[in-house]
Structure 1
Amino acid sequence: MGMRFILRACTTIMVILSAFVLLGIPASAANPGDLIINEIMNNPNSVADQDGEWFELYNPTVSAIDINGWTIQDNDIDSHVINNGGPLVIPAGGYLVLGNNADTTTNGGVAVDYDYGSSWFLSNAEDEIILLDDSLNEIDRVEYDNGLSFPDPTGSSMALNNPGLDNNIGVNWSISATLYGDGDYGTPGTTNVINAVINEIMKDPNAVADQDGEWFELFNAGSVGVDINGWTFKDEDANSHEIVNGGPLLIPAGGYLVLGVNGTMPVNGGVAVDYVYPRTEFALANADDEIILLNGTMEVDRVEYDDGITFPDPTGASMVLRDPGLDNNIGVNWGIASTAYGDGDYGTPGMINDCLILTPIYDIQYTADPGGDSPYEGQEVATQGIVTAVLDGGNNVFIQDGIGPWSGLHLYQPSGVISVGDRIEVKGEIIEYYGLTEIVGGIVTIFSSGNPLPASEILPTGSVSQEQWESVLVKVENVLVTSADMGYGEWGVNDGSGEVVIDDLEYYAYDPSDGDLLIYVQGLLYYSYSSFKIEPRDDSDILQAIVINEFSASTTGTDVEYVEIFGGPTTDYSSFTILEIEGDGSSVGTIDEVITLGLTDASGFYLAGLPPNSLENGTITLLLVEGFTGVLGTDLDTDDNGILDVTPWNLIVDSVAVDDGGTVYSPVSLGPNYDGLSPFAPGGASRIPDGYDTDSATDWIRNDFDLYGIPGYTGTPQPGEAMNTPNTSNIFAAPTALIDIEKSTSGDDADTPPGPSIPVGDPVTWTYVVRNNGTVPLTDVTVYDDQGVVVTCPINTLAAGESMSCTATGTAVAGQYANLGTVEAKYNDDTVSDTDPSHYFGAVPPVEPPIEVGGHIYSTNRINLLIPVITGAALIATWAIILIRRRRIQE
């Protein structure tokens, strides 16, 4: 592919008015979680409990919160209503300490903001702190449990590891190790010290052997140093090591400490290790393993990496935590280091990590403006997703994070070799390429491969072309090809809700024709040249409709029985099944035959030949279903009322019934004389032409009962009957003249009102697809319209099976509009004809009210340019119009 050139511009007309509005904004009430119980001193050591108990509240919101009049209580009888004699405010992002003694000389040296005295106390064993607002709505609660899951310290506070964690889960709390006042430990009124965070892991070095180069790094996010001498790290198996440093092993405030199996830099790959532990006691597995950090028996931190399922799984690079404040036991919060060190491996031992915090695809894509640019345009981001498509030789890659709107992203020429199903991280700048949000030339890291893809979003065709579905895997079902050639490899399909464009960014063999019925089309929603379009990845994303095309159940002599299917050429339909349902006698509604389909031939046919008497000679229904899970002999109509109440399948794709006086289970029923040719129900029938389907009995031509067309049988062909043609194109047994017309309005079939909505005055295009469905050539083919519309056709003769598209144009008028297309043709002296209606609704645009500016009245047009309306005295206006022209050029 050649270079891409970008010129950004647009035409903007600005008229600037000034106005000032004064807004009054009321204070917001507190909601659950707006205040967090963040630290608890329930058992001081330097002073007695009745003097030194306290707890701390943290306000994570952007607004100050007044807690005067609020209540603190437990699950028993302890309760205290806060009465400060005035506001007791916790500032945004701030802390407030409540205790039973505000005297720093006797309470152990803690600065208490509110003294609740002896009316409420904290048990040393198990207890609760429940915070209620002034309406007694619960804002927060902590229920500690005497050491079962929460810490149970003496002389130290319990400190929440991170305000973003659930503070009613014990493992999210640690024992404070920061000295204050008279010798107890805690951080009252300040940020809790996160004793240590497992911040970086080198589990699989490449420059040296694992036994020499494994290491991991701890980070101290607190404001004072933390001594980890005597702590233990272990895994869930037998590995365990107690840190014995012969003295303090300090992680400095805001600093790092590296622990490794080898401290000799020429041997360990060039990493400066602060503490060496024996690999015989603790080794890091290359697959899945754990690092569990303990302060005594209390768990301080834990990471459980999982062999690339959610965590990165690098070789020769460390896993790096994106930010120490993130939950480090969630895989997506880790990245892969890209900074080389020592002998050539990648990592940042003892230094700040080099990995960006992830920005979800949803955040990158979401915009309240339906056509708006990404809020991250021009910014460097890192994001992750599953690769859903690799198109155009890898130039166009699509990734998706979950399902739903705003979940997809386009990558143009990303680095590396990427495959569908890879879970990747990509770093790069967000740009808007003529309205398509993408990362160009992003740096890709592959975390894992072979992942399941997100399910396609199933949408009406008229709802696909929206910004929220850009780059998302989408699917439209039961659609008709309405515009087979829109130019540049594009074509259109419609399910009746509006046309959507299909493109060919990637090769597929399917060649669309007007009138083709497709079970589904799926692909990635791409945006180029100011329009959305679905990009199928290959032929498996386009499933041509499959129909029961011909069957033979009852014939002269020994029955010759078969069912023929017609669909896409060389297409696997093994998920589809033909069922024969009994319609007579006591077995009505029972599955009498099950036929599993397979691969069609190059012409689209699949033939299921059956032994004689496999199909009943009386009333039967043939169902073509997808996803059959039942078994032969199942009764689908348990109460014999003619309605299927057992449906072991996903979807009925097609059906046809022969009605010989019994019960049928299809809306298409072929009974005695259904076609005016015979007083008997047909023994078999064919669609002519192949695949012709309007869900009516007129789709079916009865086969010659005497087996004309089957080798070894002479038959008795009659005009209007079909030849028996298993596995070949269906044709009439005798010369037959037939013609068909399908009319559409602006790409919409619109047989019933209201049809598409078209603004009054806009152009209307009618398309008339005319087909010779007979066996003889037709002449004098003429198409006309009952509303006087002039129809233009390219030819006036049609060979058997030939079709053509005729067109007409007009201008939309107001209200409901209907017209009828008619085709007439001749075979010898006989005239054949057909009709098809179509509709549209002429929509009148709303009239915008005039605007008064400076005492003058103005009207507005569709682009909101103010136009002066001169009424009465002459109006003299001086205009300053700013024109900015922008032109976009795409390759």
Structure 2
Amino acid sequence: MLLVLAWMAAALAACEPSTPSDGCRADLLPGDLVITEVFADYKAAAGTTGVDTGKEWFEIYNARGQPIDLAGLTITSSRPDGSRPNRHAMRAAVIAAGQYFTLGSAPPGMVPAYVDYGYGSDLGELSNTGGGKLALSCGGQEIDSASYGDITEGHARELTGAQRPDYTINDDPASWCQANDAEFETGNFGTPGAASDCRPIASGQCSDGGAMRRAVAPGPGDLVITEVMPSPTRVADSAGEWLEVRVMTDVDLNGVGVGRIGGTPDAITAASCVHVRAGSYVVFARSADPAQNGGIPAAAIAGTFHFNLIGGAPASPGDVAIVAGATVVDAVTWTRSTAGAALQLDPARIDPSANDSESNFCDATQPYGPAGPAPDRGTPGTANAPCPLLPAPGMCDDGTRVRAIVRPVVGQLVISEILANPANVAGATDATREWFEVANTGDAFDLNELVVGRIGAAGAPVASARCLTVAPHGFAVFARSADPGLDGMLPHVDATFRFGLVDTSGDIEIASGATVLDAVRWTSVTPGVASQLDPRHLTPADNDDDASFCPATAAYGDQTNLGTPGAANRPCP
């Protein structure tokens, strides 16, 4: 009985997740072990459901020249940028000199014949969409690491077999290729435990129907960036960002990369020629999986990337470039974007010079992806809708005629109410539910071309072909979103803004040209409660004093926040 209990305890211990070790039993140096192959997406037989659990594996090579005891070696699996790491500390196992050794996700004692060691569930699922990274370390010393790009279902990524495995060679994406010849299981290709049987395609070459040819690289202007989605709302930015390009002449995308201007691009490394024809649209996305990326048509996606299009909120500026080797094919920059809406280039301005001007872009209005409330808007992979034509500067359309904009004078526009920290329901964020109100103390004026922003910062003009008129002694609401499904069901939105209203030490400034009409500052806010200016102090001077404001008490819209957007405030106690 004691023997049985001891055996059961040992078996359970072998199945439990292991913790990283402080060091290895062997005295290893960088390069003694080399990561040579990764299989991260198992292809199930026809008629069955494919699951990767227990079917993933990767391979290492002993380059030291003598046997190595792997006990204590720490394996780390993560995203390419090192995020979301999972670790496993190896049990005793010996890899002979010059041997390939396969480690798999099956539990110990249940590994298939082609796997030498099972690490169980410790590493989670190896990342496939968007690629991943594997690292081997002893204590704080890295022995080897290797990053890999998108994985094709049923195909391993292999380090070139053209030369002896080396830990510097596997740092070069061009030294990796897709296993296509040797089947280790039906429909699944790779060489677990053996040297790679593939040879990477030579730089500048691609396989066209099995025959090698020179890849036709794009030159400047052969690809034009026509649409960018920096701030999706239905899925996370890390899965839902994308950009679209219009193909101006027949080219191959092999070796073409996308990246931030001046940064390291993510390049297409496919062996087969990725040929695109003039007049077509292709998409580069954070994820190639429509279930993860918000519903981008899979057929439109030519490649993936792993960087962020912007550095923060939608109000943040962004940029992206398409490169072919050292050649910049096209690049665009923008100062701000709208949450949930792609920035679209007007189809009459598809030109590598015209897209340098942000004024030739507008917010997309057509929804894409699964049906449901508050969809993201854009046309990934298809032509853009024309942008609204704006009247000449200083003019607007009042519905009957195009006329001169009526500008407010100093003292006429007063910031009268602010909700800087809205209470958010599930799925909502401050980026769509913040707002502020202005009051008109005199005759009617227009909001058009007023510049709204933070004090001392470059603001954004209110752009609209339609005259945005504020009635005499009326109110206007500026909001982060004009969509009732996103903004908390505001009764009415007159104009939108793109910067964030911070919770502490915040401020707003509204100007007409070089003239500041009004500005307010605050030190703190109450969540879910607007700060209202006492109607007895409705002047640009009085709203500089915190004592002129008090908390709102009336609920509006979806009843999650208090305030009177677009209506008169109650007197403060």
Does the pair score TM above 0.5? no
**Which has more strand, going by share of residues?**
1
TM range (shorter): 0.3 to 0.5
TM-score w.r.t. the length of structure 2 is: 0.38
Which is higher, the Rg of structure 1 or of structure 2? 1
* TM-score, scaled to structure 1: 0.27
